[in-house]
Structures are given as structure tokens and as C-alpha cells.
Structure 1
Amino acid sequence: MIQNNMFNIQGAQQLQMKSTVENKPSTPAESIQSFGTYLQNALGSVAAQESQAHEMSNQFLIGKANVDQVMIASEQALLSLQLTSQVRNKVVEAYQEIMRTQL
């Protein structure tokens, strides 16, 4: 089964549990920093999947990996990259919509 590690439910549950444990109100700066850290970790996991796919293809070339392992790693990296680009597109669309809003 292929799992996307970029946006998983367990990570969101950990963030929810963390916010319920800390009863102090968070400032907007802390929220932005937390969100920035989350995005940085998500992009890091996408980069890690891409490097893993590259490593698997190198292992295949020297005969140490099966073709199915290489294909699974490649598809996981491709799907993560596509998800990342779609999220980026949605963020850009939302920004453009906000900028078009007349006050």
C-alpha cells in the first residue's frame, strides 16, 4: 500500500494534541512559525522521497534492487511532487483571489 507521508492524519493529530496540552493562547507569530515549520518538514519529506527514488534507481542499475521497488519509490516521489505542486497552485489562487478583493 502506498502511503503519502507528507500530509498524514497522525501528524495532524499530534499537532491537535500539542495545542490542547498547551492551554496558553498562541500569538499570531507563534502560529505562523508553527505553520512554517510544518511546511518546511513537508517539503523536506518530499525531497527525501525524491532522493530515495534516485538512490533506488542507482541500486537497480548495479543490480541490487528489483524493478518493482524502483517503480514504487518513483511513483511515491512523483505523487508527492504532484501533491506539492497542486497545494502550491491552490495557495497562489487563494492569494490572487484575496488581492482581487475590493475593499
Structure 2
Amino acid sequence: MIQNTMFNPGSLPLQASTLAKPAATPSDSIQQFGAYLQEAIQSVSAQEKSASLMSDKMITGQVSVDQTMISAQQALLSVQLTTQVRNKVVEAYQEIMRTQM
């Protein structure tokens, strides 16, 4: 089964201090969210690099076509998910800006 690990909530370490109380300021929350997004984008980049490496290995006969195609599809799905999340964030921002006027 193919699993997308990009936005896996279990991949982020939970700290007792985080569970005990919310972030002190909105700035802290923004920084934590920014770090989460940065980690997710780096994960997508790593999947793309892995797919490219698998493609190179397939050409030399080191891996099968099946493995290469699975890796390529995982990278493609991650990019599509990232694009959709970005589109939703932009839509939400535009909606907020419309309601404030």
C-alpha cells in the first residue's frame, strides 16, 4: 500500500510542554506552523529527488520498472497534494481579505 508521509501527524514529535499549554503568542504559533510547512515541502523535495534517483537506477538496471513507477507516482501525488493545499490556503486568504473590506 502506498502511503503519503508528507502530512503524517504522527511524524511530528509531541512534547509534554506543547500538550500542557497552548502557544504563548500568535507569533509562536506562526513559527511552529511555518516550520511544519517547511518540513513538509522538504519531504516533497526529497521524494522528487528519490524518484529521479530511481529513474537513473532503472536505466542502469539496478531497480525494476515497478519500483521506479511507484516512486514516481508517490512523488507526483505529493506534489499534487502540496499544490492543492497551497490553493486552499490562497483561497482562504482571499476570502478573509474580502470579508474585511
TM-score, structure 2 normalization: 0.89
- Per-residue CA distance 1:40-72 (angstroms, 9 max, x = gap): 000000000000000000000111110010000
Gap regions ≥5 residues in structure 2: none
Describe the SS at the equivalent of 1:101: helix
CA RMSD of aligned residues (A): 1.9
Aligned with 2:80: secondary structure?
helix
Gap change, CA 1:74 and 1:24, over 3 Å in 2: closer
Residues 44 and 75, structure 2, Cα contact 8 Å, conserved in 1: yes
Segments ≥4 residues shifted beyond 6 Å? none
Give the TM-score normalised by structure 1: 0.88
Aligned length, in residue pairs: 101
Q: Quick one: percent identity of the two aligned structures?
A: 58
Where do residues 1-103 of structure 1 align in structure 2 (5 Å cutoff)? 1-11=1-11, 14-15=13-14, 19-21=18-20, 23=21, 25-103=23-101
